[in-house]
A and B are shown apart, each in its own frame.
Chain A
Amino acid sequence: AQTVTQSQPEMSVQEAETVTLSCTYDTSESDYYLFWYKQPPSRQMILVIRQEAYKQQNATENRFSVNFQKAAKSFSLKISDSQLGDAAMYFCAYRGYGNKLVFGAGTILRVKS
C-alpha cells in the first residue's frame, strides 16, 4: 500500500521569505500523481500544485514550486515571498492508478508579520 509522510507537524516563516515543506512517499507504481493541497482556517481544501511522475520538470504555480525527486520518492513544496494568506494546513497527497488519494498527516504553516 502507498504511504505519504510529512515529517514537519509545524513550520514558521517570516513574511516575504521562503519556506520549504517536506513530503516523502512510498509506492511500487510507476505512474502516479502527487499533489499539495492547502486547507486555510475556512477549512476549504484548495489544490495548490500537482506533479505527474513521468514528467521530470518540476511543477510551478506562481510563488509555489515543487522539488520532485522520483528516485528518492521526495516531493517538497517551496513557497516564495510568503504572504499572510499562505498560513494554513498543507497536505501532500498521492494518487496512483484509480481514484483514491492517500494523504500525509499535514503541516501547519504559520506566517509571521
Chain B
Amino acid sequence: DVKVTQSSRYLVKRTGEKVFLECVQDMDHENMFWYRQDPGLGLRLIYFSYDVKMKEKGDIPEGYSVSREKKERFSLILESASTNQTSMYLCASSLLSGIGGKNIQYFGAGTRLSVL
C-alpha cells in the first residue's frame, strides 16, 4: 500500500515563526502536492512538485514556499507564520502526469496547524 506520512498531526506555532511541514512518501511517486483544507472551501492547492527540485505554484501560494531535495520528501515552509494560516494541511503524492487512470493521488493524514 502507498504510504504518505506527515511528520506532525498537530502543531502550534507563534505569529512570525518559520514553520516546516514535512511529508514523505514511500512509493517512488514523481508528483507531490500540498493542500490546505478549510471548512466550506474544500481542499485548495498550495504548491506541487513533479520532480526533485522542481515546483509549481498552485492556487494559493502566497505566504508559502516548498522544498523538494529528495524524491520522497516534500516540505512546506511558512516563512513567517500568520494567524490566517491556521488550517489543516494535507500532503499527497501520485505517479507521473497525464490523464491516465493510474494517476491517483494518495493523501497523508494531515497536519492541523494553529498559529497564535
Contacts and interface: CB of A to CB of B under 8 A. Distances in A.
Interface of A: 4, 6, 9, 31-33, 37, 42-45, 47, 50, 52, 91, 95-101, 103-106
Nearest to A53: B99
Chain A CB count within 10 A is highest, among B40, B105, B109, for B105
A98 B109 contact: no
A25 to B, nearest CB: 12
Given A43-B88, A43-B110, A101 B42 contact: no
A106 B42 contact: yes
28 contacts: A6-B42, A33-B99, A37-B107, A43-B109, A43-B110, A44-B108, A44-B109, A45-B107, A47-B104, A47-B106, A50-B104, A91-B42, A91-B43, A95-B99, A95-B103, A97-B99, A99-B31, A99-B94, A99-B103, A100-B33, A100-B45, A101-B43, A101-B105, A103-B35, A103-B43, A105-B40, A105-B41, A105-B42
Interface string B92-116: 1010011101011111111000000
Contacts of A98: 97
A51 B101 CA distance: 9
